[in-house]
Amino acid sequence: MKMKKLFTCMILMTLSLISIAQNNPEKTNKQQLLEKIEAQRSAYITSKLDMTSEESAKFWPLYNEYSRKRMELKKENKAQNTDNLSEQESRMELDEQIESQEKALALKKSYYEKFKAVLPAAKLAKLESAEQEFRREILRQIKERNKSNSGPHR
């Protein structure tokens, strides 16, 4: 029953996002859409981890900080086009990729320590799978929306 309620909530939020995007194209921008997706993510993960309001109030500021730092790392270490690199440049690119992955892992470890201070380990253990499920759901909704917007091709 809880899953059905969560799924219904997700569908309603998605439909509202789609209708807003279609009705106010000049008003809706990428930032607003990202904010709405983040709100959906918070609701979804809070529900999946069965967080209390107290846990949620402590967890989300930390998670948002972690998420922001993780995005900064990704932007900082965006892979370059490797088609025409010399051997030396390729080696440097590989080293930078490994270093980037190590930084991401160190960031994850440090924040998981902070998360353990505000959430029981049993709930925290569900976090990664809840994040993956949410991403899959968003991608599925985008794919469906794109399919319905494209219509039949002649």
Q: What is the pLDDT along the chain (154 residues), one digit of tens a residue?
A: 555 555 555 555 555 555 555 555 545 688 888 888 899 999 999 999 999 999 999 999 999 999 999 999 988 877 667 778 888 988 998 898 899 999 999 999 999 999 999 999 999 999 999 999 999 999 998 898 888 877 665 4
Reported for 47-54, long-range contacts at CB under 8 A and 24+ positions apart, including other chains, are: 47/2, 47/6, 48/6, 48/126, 48/130, 48/133, 49/119, 49/123, 49/124, 49/126, 49/127, 49/130, 50/123, 51/119, 51/123
Return the pLDDT at 3. 54
Return the pLDDT at 132. 96
CB atoms within 10 A of CB 42: 17
Query: Can you point out the beta strands (E) in the chain?
Result: none
Rounded to whole angstroms, how far apart are CA atoms 110 and 17? 34
Return the pLDDT at 33. 83
- Evaluate whether 49 touches 118 at the Cβ level (below 8 Å): no
Rounded to whole angstroms, how far apart are CA atoms 21 and 116? 38
Packed helices 30-48 and 127-150: angle between N→C axes, nearest 10 degrees: 140
